[in-house]
Amino acid sequence: MKFNEFEYKRPDFEITKTALENLIMSMNESVSFGDFKGNMDEVNKKRNTIQSMETLVSIRYSIDTRDTFYSSEKEYWDEISPQYEEINSKFYKAVTQSKFRKELEKEIGTQFIKIAEYSLKSFDPCIIEDLKEENKLTSEYTRLLASAKIIFEGEERNLSGMGPFMTSKDPSVRENASQKYYGFFEENEDKFDDIFSQLVNVRHSMACKLGFENFTELGYIRMLRTDYNADMVSKFRNQVSQYIIPCVSKLFERQRKRLNLDKLRYFDENYEFETGNPEPKGDSKFIIDNGIKMYRELSKETKEFFEFMTEHELMDLETKKGKSAGGYCTYIPDYKSPFIFSNFNSTDADIDVLTHEAGHAFQVYQSRWIDIPEINFPTYESCEIHSMSMEFITYPWMELFFKEDTDKYKYAHMGSTLKFIPYGVLVDEFQHHIYEKPQLSPAQRKTLWRELEKKYQPHKNYQGCDFLERGGWWLKQGHIFKNPFYYIDYALAQICALQFWKKMEQDRESAWQDYLKICTIGGTKSFVEIVKEAKLISPFEDGCLASIINDIDTYLESVDDTML
């Protein structure tokens, strides 16, 4: 069955609710663990169907936000999903308060129980209307991004379609394209500000109703961070300042010199080489064909996985009108199928997607044995270990895509990996300030962003762009709008992925087995536990960043970037 044949049928909420509540009652009345587990399995079967239907709507809506049917269904799910949360809450109580809890923990582990407890802390029927409003506002943000119609070089383009021009060899094209791109955000600045102000207000309101001082603590609970807290994250940010920012500053200076620029301006940052950035040497078919070869050769597990993805057409990769911006991987439980969504734009980012999102998809494919929807994927920061590590694991096959530009790609990719980490912690600290001071005005938020840029990205030069100089960059960062506190996850995972790069250089087979193990574990363990299973050093441990930065710096220094 191909993806377009996957059947969507809106569940009848009242019928589903009654069936689930009856099963939950049976769980509570079970006289043996066998009966309890049987009823629990039936609940999960129905919850998997609900998730599958909601996910199909989300995917098909993001493929074409103009589709009236799926647009309408998306609005329906925005409204109804908080009501399903109320049923889930009853299910979580049945699990956490069960007299069979010890037997359940022995069979499925403790992570799902912890997730159930955290989910109970983050939900109460009194916030259902707030949750509906939050969903509505994030969908509004998605539509606003997708509405971009930028006329450039005689054609109408969306935000993703501007990518190739923003990394053009011609500096005037880069600058003009960047001005057009950020011009869209400036033209719609009031709309973005209004959506975000409403989001901050509704999240703060929910936190207060649930008994929290502000949204920060609730945000951590919603992210299911069961084994680390804000203080540990703050110490990690300090490690980044100490070890990563000096290395990144050297990279930007090397970039300025090899581009023969007096200064590196904002539209030059993503342009790495005078000879042009590395680009895949073919179209999307070329990329997929070589992806098949790469994953066939990498391992028997990846061969099976990628053939499944291509045969069932579980990828939508090319940018087109009406398509939502960005890229993601999701999972459709009833079909045991991952799905990869992206916007190819003929840049090296297309290959990053092929490896990054495929890393997510491979993990959940290996975890299809898990029938509890909360733990198919692990928590977000663990998810990103799989995706970011896959980018490095596939290095030996990059010649398939980049040919003579392979060394250029690897140098640029490693450099961009390091450059991202300070940005990742910037986004995190920004969100902490925002939700600890929800009364900040739009202008104050932008001033705060610009101050944090100067702290974590001292190289930034926005000469010629008042919008960015005022602190407008973050309006394009979807996570800040749609997934509050989801961003430090990337930085934490990146440190783990860099450790996998080091392990792969030392003993590839052993490193692959460690990677395969944590993919199969899925979400049955917490972040710190998964890091331990992978035989990595936790990013929260003193000395973690120090243990890898010298190896990375040595590799980067060994490359004569002026010859690339």
pLDDT in tens, 3-36: 999 999 999 999 999 999 999 999 999 999 999 9
Q: What percent of the chain has pLDDT over 70?
A: 100
Residue with tokens 């359940």: 104
Average pLDDT over residues 408-436: 97
Predicted local confidence at residue 461, as pLDDT: 97
Q: What percent of the chain has pLDDT over 90?
A: 94
Judge whether residue 160 has pLDDT over 90: no
Write out the two tokens for 105.
Answer: 């923990």
Judge whether residue 326 has pLDDT over 90: no
Judge whether 520 and 180 are in contact, CB under 8 Å.
no
What is the strand order of the sheet 337-344 is part of? Answer: 315-318, 337-344, 328-332
Judge whether 36 and 98 are in contact, CB under 8 Å.
yes
What is the Cβ-side half-sphere exposure of residue 426, based on CA atoms within 13 angstroms? Answer: 23
Judge whether 358 and 340 are in contact, CB under 8 Å.
yes
Q: What is the rounded CA–CA span in Å between residue 94 and residue 101?
A: 10
Predicted local confidence at residue 346, as pLDDT: 87
Runs of H (alpha helix) within 457-535: 466-469, 478-482, 488-506, 508-521, 527-533
Residue 324: DSSP 8-state: P
Predicted local confidence at residue 130, as pLDDT: 96
214-270 pLDDT, tens digit each: 999 999 999 999 999 999 999 999 999 999 999 999 999 999 999 999 999 999 999
Judge whether 47 and 24 are in contact, CB under 8 Å.
no
128-150 pLDDT, tens digit each: 999 999 999 999 999 999 999 99
Predicted local confidence at residue 368, as pLDDT: 97
- 348 φ, ψ (degrees, to nearest 5): -65, -20
pLDDT class for 301, splitting at 50, 70, 90?
very high
501-531 pLDDT, tens digit each: 999 999 999 999 999 999 999 999 999 999 9
Judge whether 525 and 377 are in contact, CB under 8 Å.
no
378-404 pLDDT, tens digit each: 999 999 999 999 999 999 999 999 999
Q: What is the pTM of this model?
A: 0.90
Judge whether residue 277 has pLDDT over 90: no
Q: State the average pLDDT for the chain.
A: 96
Judge whether residue 338 has pLDDT over 90: yes
Task: Of 363, 367, 357, 382, give the one whose Cα is nearest residue 532.
Answer: 382
Judge whether 362 and 386 are in contact, CB under 8 Å.
yes
- 331 φ, ψ (degrees, to nearest 5): -140, 135
Q: Are strands 337-344 and 315-318 parallel, antiparallel or unpaired?
A: parallel
Predicted local confidence at residue 356, as pLDDT: 95
pLDDT class for 347, splitting at 50, 70, 90?
confident
Predicted local confidence at residue 518, as pLDDT: 98
Average pLDDT over residues 340-356: 91
Judge whether residue 345 has pLDDT over 90: no
Average pLDDT over residues 103-114: 96
Judge whether residue 436 has pLDDT over 90: yes
